[in-house]
Structure 1
């Protein structure tokens, strides 16, 4: 071991020396084996998720992730969001991109798309079929995901040239929070910025399935631009995707909203959107469950209290709901609040 070597500790506790600056992928090839190097998707270096192209420049721990690790599904779904966004912009010129995170069961990407009159121009189910086909063709091209660090000025110049006004706003926010550089990821001729990591190439994604499209608002604010949100998912194999689709179909058959109505337990009415009207049958079951739960809690030393049904945004900021679910929360304006305040400051939510 030379003075320029670093020591890498693997999950089993074994250690291996390697020349400082060697990438994760090259380390795996030479110190572990070509099989794992081919299967690896990303790694954790001292607990931080990194690309396989990350240089090992200090002593540290290293954990590799392949398609056998459940964490890898989240990775390829974020990869899939990038691929879908690139397909959308190629198929529908003039469409702007905003954000595209992974979710529990897949991913979504928000797009700004308007017609000649400046009105929202939603994607149709037929559009999703075309986009899905184009995205999976891009997966098969095995395009490498390439990372590059740029300065604020470089990022603003790049996305300004691309006409991505939403990206410019995000870039300003990122650097205002103290960032000193921005990581770009490209595949083919399409580029976006995110923290990463990404898989080595698009082929690692497997198969992409687009599920639905819905409306959303920029920054979750209904006073801002209306966006088109495409939902999708991705799996390593068609077999896994088919199994998931079957599971979703079976779950729909047992959906409590469907079963409850079929058993005459509850109903819904436009007079109170999203609220349940319990029938006498449903109320009887609800009361029995409530009584049983109350008895169980009291027997175990719990005390019963009553809390408000509505809160202002301070509670939801603390809980984290404000940042993630603001656009789907019910808003009630306080008539006694100062009308000069922003709407969010005059509202209660449930």
Structure 2
């Protein structure tokens, strides 16, 4: 694929650059189509992104409909068919300003006001359309093979809510039609699996205008959440963690000592108590530090592993909120490990094993990323070098391949991030291991070594799920709501065919409940086919027990399996043993 640079050089495109160039060119073609259909349109920014491309445009009082988006897409196809050459040219700042004034492009004019007057500004032209841009682009519009406009939304100019609201038109482009169709197929499946839709259907959670970004968990959602927490307790008890709980609100001075006030205060909620400033915790770690500091420690106690399921609050912009994926309060499954320097490698390896076990349990593959020292870091060069080398040593000892993400560590230390891959091939950053020499120093943490001397411990911050709420959202989409038996909010639904069979159905339901199996009894006066479809397709229950006359007479149950949609007759005891085995083994 040939591309043209801003200086007019034509060359072969590097493979890793192809999608970006395609999508950047598609943004220009879309803008040209919009300008043809809406001559008064005034354009702001129109970049390519990892997910596609968009253009922010001021359309005055015009409100676009879905039909209008299709018209824009059709016009894009005409522009592609015209096979217009795409040619760059360069102007001085003064010449560029004059051209933009002539074309009445006030947003571009405002943009170049931010540039030095010594700047040389490049433009690209295709037919009658001219756009200020650094490129590169395709050489001809006909080289754009496969694209689609996907949606429209609102966007403030420069992201400032005090500025005018523009129309953001999004699209996607690929190298060929087959890739585009595969993307659209996955997108359709992702929409079908949307955790917000499934969560509403299954009555797992809700949101309210009275608390934007603050999720409400409904009874079935709490069953799911508690099952996850029970699993968390099991694996942490086995790994010798002690659970603690720390206050949600603590003094501002604590957060100043920890460094969060300097580095994170814009995302923190604050309040006044007794005339002093307090903060609602955005992280659990300072509380865990205070627990460690509450009494003296000997080297014989180390490592000390403190786990906490702490509710934290972080201020997120309202426009960024998205179901359970981006909320303002969530339960972080934290742990803080205090250890000697010589224990670092073994502890990190142990945490890697724990996180790997969790992701394997849910069927996730994962990749690993090592994030190094950021610009706003705390601490000495020596501590950062030692901390980073310790993480590298642990990763290499496990034989785990990893990518290095330069400068993206926490302000107090480098970190290992785990990116899991779901059933649709999407990746999510969840687990993290952060090595911290700074907080033990800031809080003057100590332990007594074998010689009776005071030493400073090293600290690990780590999470497995990340946020339990977000992890539930990920699991909901990963399984499309069809959670494994051990995790399902309702594990069995007992369906009575008619009132004649209700007495036996109630006995079956009661016995299941006594065994601790999460079950419901459906005794409505509905056709059995309807009740089965609802239990399988809406409630997504793993097992349905159909109780009719034959079952009541023979004291059996007809078991409908969600996975196979097959029905099998067996005794109650046989079914009870089967489902208890699956729950115990977490299948």
In the superposition, the TM-score normalised over structure 2's length comes to 0.40
Q: Name the counterpart of 2:57.
A: 111
Aligned partners of 1:104, 1:302: CA distance in 2, in Å?
42
Shift in CA distance, 213/236, structure 1 to aligned 2, threshold 3 Å: same
In structure 1, which of residues 211, 224, 246 is the aligned counterpart of residue 163 of structure 2? 224
Residues 172 and 203 of structure 1: is their aligned pair in 2 closer, same or farther, counting only changes over 3 Å?
Answer: same
Q: How many residues align?
A: 263
Where do residues 257-272 of structure 1 align in structure 2 (5 Å cutoff)?
Answer: 257-272=196-211
Map 1:175-254 → 2, pairs under 5 A: 175=116, 180-254=119-193
- Alpha-carbon spacing, 1:327–1:268, altered in 2? closer, same or farther (3 Å): closer
Per-residue deviation, residues 196-251 of structure 1 (Å, max 9, x unmatched): 11121212211221111111111111211110111111122222222211111111
The question of 1:85 aligning with 2:85 is answered: no
Q: In the superposition, relative to structure 1, how do residues 91 and 149 fare at CA in structure 2: closer, same or farther (>3 Å)?
A: same
Instruction: Give the whole-Å Cα distance in 2 for the aligned partners of 1:114 and 1:125.
Output: 18
Tell me the residue number matched to 1:40. Answer: 2
Give the aligned partner of residue 138 of structure 1. 79
Residue 317 to residue 70, structure 1, CA distance change in 2 (3 Å): farther
Tell me the TM-score normalised to structure 1 length. Answer: 0.65
Structure 1 residue matching 2:116: 3-state secondary structure: helix
Residues in 2 aligned to 1:195 and 1:294: alpha-carbon distance in whole angstroms = 54
Shift in alpha-carbon separation, 1:122–1:306, aligned structure 2, 3 A: farther
- Asked if structure 1 preserves the Cα contact closer than 8 Å seen for 2:6 and 2:134, the reply is no
Change (3 A) 1:327 1:70: farther
C-alpha distance in 1 between matches for 2:265 and 2:135:
28
Where does residue 17 of structure 2 map in the other structure? 71
Q: 1:174 to 1:130 in 2, by over 3 A?
A: same
Against the structure 1 CA distance between its residues 213 and 183, is the aligned structure 2 distance closer, same or farther, given a 3 Å change threshold?
A: same
Residues in 1 aligned to 2:8 and 2:249: alpha-carbon distance in whole angstroms: 52
The worse-fitting range, judged by mean Cα deviation, of 296-305 and 261-270 is: 296-305
The one of 9, 15, 23 aligned to 1:54: 9
Counterpart-to-counterpart distance in 2, 1:122 and 1:312: 43
Structure 2 equivalent of residue 273 of structure 1:
212
**Mapped partners of 1:308, 1:141: distance in 2:** 64
CA offsets, 1:72-125, max 9 Å, x none? 11211110001111111111111100001112221110001113xxxxx22221
SS of equivalent residue, structure 2 residue 150: strand
1:313–1:126 distance in 2 versus 1, CA, 3 Å: farther
Provide the rounded CA distance (Å) in 1 between the counterparts of 2:265 and 2:105. Answer: 31
**Are 2:319 and 1:328 equivalent residues in the alignment?**
yes
**Kept in 2: contact 1:217–1:226 (CA 8 A):** yes
**Within the alignment, does 1:98 sit opposite 2:48 as a pair?**
no
Q: Which has the higher strand share?
A: 2
Cα RMSD (Å) of the superposition? 3.5
> More displaced, 289-298 or 144-153?
289-298
CA–CA distance in 1 between the matches of 2:192 and 2:236?
A: 33
